[in-house]
């Protein structure tokens, strides 16, 4: 654990009967941009507050640079937090807001001056040092809040939904700026968000949390292409879920839905033959074929009726009723040649859904056909 900037070992936090964080094991590397991603109430803020020292774990230990910090109060930890509601002092100008903490620590004047200037340079606000918060845009105010944390030269910066208050356009811009700042300062960032797109855009690695537990940790493309649980498959992007019993079909596993409809499970199947399996396939991996059209041998095939067509510019999103599964599938097609020979499907049309079996992601089900429905569609 010495190799990690932060290491959480079996960390559990209970508030009375409620378990906010359950048995969390997590190692975050030096200089990593690491995100905690999950729905409201899953324990993200609680986890950050324990790292910062505002909250004590009920069980387990937290190590910063290999040192157990259980006994260290917040101000002794080399960690700084930027909260969602960054309260700047309205009556103080930018540089005084940034200098505030250093003045309270009674640092020498010239050191304060130097560190404030450095921090303002990092967030590119040197030319606004005499402005009051009310004279700045939302994104600039957010950058002042960031400078106020960076000025303390923390080895770890904790960011709790810091862009939550900004509109979408500014948010996107600040996401890129934050990434640049992270690269420039080279410190560890732990970033909390419930927005999967934001986490995918910014992070080196992401921990996906659900109801106090970490479901999966991985790089963005890893989580998207290889989700290991139904929750992750549904929370990161959109997934179509398929369940059924596996039969042997040559050297493949096969789930058959009658009338030639089939889903191949690539070997080695994680479920054994005769077992119930659950798998996920992404909307952009599926192609739509005319009813009479031959679908390549060895491809997965289902049939359905187009219900909804949403033209999205670059792509068209289809919602398709698949009677064999009593479920609606989402399919995304690139609008490659809409203007010429490619015609959009229209609601009511029957269609064949086909995809290569390598796109199927077998999920662990706990072996129960009554596994909870959590469809993201
Ligand atoms: N001080 C507290 N006392 C009692 N319960 C708490 C306390 N702080 C958090 N909780 C509970 O712990 C759970 C996790 O809360 P937490 O704030 O960590 O969620 P979150 O993932 O940050 O959610 P959000 O995305 O809405 O900010 C929630 O059920 C919350 O009600
Ligand atoms: Mg929170």
269 burial type by CB count under 10 A (0-12 exposed, 13-18 middle, 19+ buried) = buried
Task: Give the position, in ligand 1's atom list, of the atom nearest the Cα of 44.
Answer: 21
**Inter-helix orientation angle 138-150/94-104, to 10°:** 20
Q: What percent of the chain has pLDDT over 70?
A: 92
Q: What is the pLDDT of residues 108-124, one digit of tens each?
A: 999 999 999 999 988 88
Q: Please give the structure tokens belonging to residue 151.
A: 């000025």
Give the tens place of pLDDT for each residue, 349-364: 999 999 999 999 988 7
Distance between terminal CA atoms of the chain?
40
The pLDDT, as a whole number, for residue 377 is 33
**Residues 46-101: tens digit of each pLDDT:** 999 999 999 999 999 999 999 999 889 988 898 888 876 678 999 999 999 999 98
Ordered by start, the domain boundaries in the chain are: 4-230, 238-363
Q: What are the structure tokens assigned to 78, written together?
A: 């080399």
Nearest CA to ligand 1 atom 11: 20
State the pLDDT at residue 173.
85
Residue 371, pLDDT score: 39
Q: Is the CB of 120 under 6 A from ligand 1?
A: no
Q: Which residue has the tokens 């491809």?
A: 299
pLDDT 10s digits, 290-337: 999 999 989 999 999 999 999 888 899 999 999 999 999 999 998 876
* Contact 194 CB / ligand 1 (< 6 Å): yes
CATH code of 238-363, in short, is 2.40.50.100
Say which ligand is closest to the CA of 43. Answer: 1
Distance 20 CA to ligand 1 centre (A): 6
Q: According to the model, what pLDDT value does residue 365 have?
A: 63
How does residue 367 score in pLDDT terms, banded at 50, 70 and 90?
very low
pLDDT, tens only, 16-59: 999 999 999 999 999 999 999 999 999 999 999 999 999 999 99
Measured CA to CA, the distance from residue 120 to residue 124 in angstroms comes to: 6
Looking from the CA of 305 toward its CB, the CA atoms found within 13 Å total 6
Q: How far is the CA of 160 from the centre of ligand 1 (A)?
A: 13
pLDDT at 372 over 60: no
Residue 44 makes CB contacts below 8 A (sequence gap 6+) with 36, 37, 38, 160, 192, 193, 194, 209
Q: Whose CA is nearest to atom 29 of ligand 1?
A: 41
Which distant-in-sequence residues (6+ apart) come within 8 Å of 336 by Cβ? 342
Q: Where are the beta strands (DSSP E) in 30-139?
A: 33-37, 59-64, 67-68, 79-82
CB-based contacts of 265, cutoff 8 Å, min separation 6: 246, 252, 253, 254, 255, 271, 277, 279, 357, 360, 362
Residue whose CA is at the smallest distance from ligand 1 atom 6? 15
Ligand index nearest the alpha carbon of residue 58: 1
String of b and e for 149-174 (b: at least 16 CB within 10 Å)?
bbbbebbbbbbbbbbbebeeebbeeb
Per residue in 149-188, pLDDT (tens digit) is 889 888 899 999 988 877 888 888 889 988 998 998 889 9
Of all protein residues, the one whose alpha carbon is nearest to atom 2 of ligand 1 is 15
Nearest-angstrom CA–CA distance, 291 and 353: 10
Ligand closest to Cα of 17 equals 1
Mean pLDDT (whole number) for 223-231: 93
Query: Could you tell me the two tokens for 301?
Result: 């095939």
* Ligand 1 close to Cβ of residue 311 (< 6 A): no
Domain 4-230 is in which class?
alpha beta
Which pLDDT score, from 0 to 100, does residue 301 have? 98
Neighbouring-strand partners of residue 317: 310, 332
Atom of ligand 1 nearest to the CA of 21: 14
Q: Which residue has the tokens 């006994």?
A: 71
Tokens of residue 354, six digits: 């086909």
Ligand nearest to the CA of 83: 2
- Is 60 exceeded by the pLDDT of residue 368? no
Over residues 267-281, the pLDDT tens digits come to 655 556 677 889 999
CB 20 within 8 A of CB 13: yes
């Amino acid at each position: 654990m010495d190799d990690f900037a932060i290491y959480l070992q079996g960390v559990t936090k209970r508030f009375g009967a409620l378990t906010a964080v359950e048995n969390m094991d997590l190692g975050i590397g030096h200089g990593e941009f690491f995100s905690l991603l999950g729905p409201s109430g899953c324990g993200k803020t609680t986890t950050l507050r324990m790292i910062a020292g505002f909250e004590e774990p009920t069980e387990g230990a937290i190590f910063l640079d290999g040192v157990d910090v259980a006994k260290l109060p917040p101000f002794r930890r080399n960690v700084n937090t930027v909260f969602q509601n960054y309260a700047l002092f309205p009556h103080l100008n930018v540089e005084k807001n940034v200098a505030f903490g250093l003045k309270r620590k009674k640092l020498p004047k010239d050191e304060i001056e130097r560190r404030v200037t450095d921090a303002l340079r990092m967030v590119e606000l040197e030319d606004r040092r005499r402005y009051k918060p009310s004279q700045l845009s939302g994104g600039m105010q957010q950058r002042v809040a960031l400078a106020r944390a960076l000025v303390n030269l923390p080895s770890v910066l904790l960011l709790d939904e810091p862009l939550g208050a900004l509109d979408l356009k500014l948010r996107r811009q600040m996401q890129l700026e934050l990434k640049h700042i992270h690269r420039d300062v080279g410190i560890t960032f732990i970033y909390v968000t419930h927005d999967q797109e934001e986490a995918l855009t910014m992070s080196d690695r992401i921990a996906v949390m659900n109801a106090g537990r970490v479901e999966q940790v991985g790089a963005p493309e890893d989580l998207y292409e290889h989700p290991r649980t139904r929750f992750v498959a549904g929370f990161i992007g959109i997934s179509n879920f398929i369940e059924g019993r596996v039969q042997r079909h040559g050297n493949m596993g096969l789930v058959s839905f009658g009338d030639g409809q089939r889903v191949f499970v690539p070997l080695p199947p994680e479920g054994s033959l005769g077992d119930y399996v659950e798998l996920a396939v992404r909307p952009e991996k599926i192609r739509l074929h005319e009813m009479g059209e031959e679908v390549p041998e060895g491809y997965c095939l289902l049939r359905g009726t187009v219900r909804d067509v949403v033209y999205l510019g670059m792509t068209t999103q289809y919602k398709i009723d698949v009677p064999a599964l009593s479920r609606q599938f989402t399919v995304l097609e690139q609008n490659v040649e809409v203007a010429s020979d490619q015609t959009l499907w229209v609601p009511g049309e029957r269609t064949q859904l086909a995809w290569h079996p390598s796109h199927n992601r077998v999920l662990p089900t706990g072996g129960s056909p009554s596994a909870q429905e959590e469809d993201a569609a």
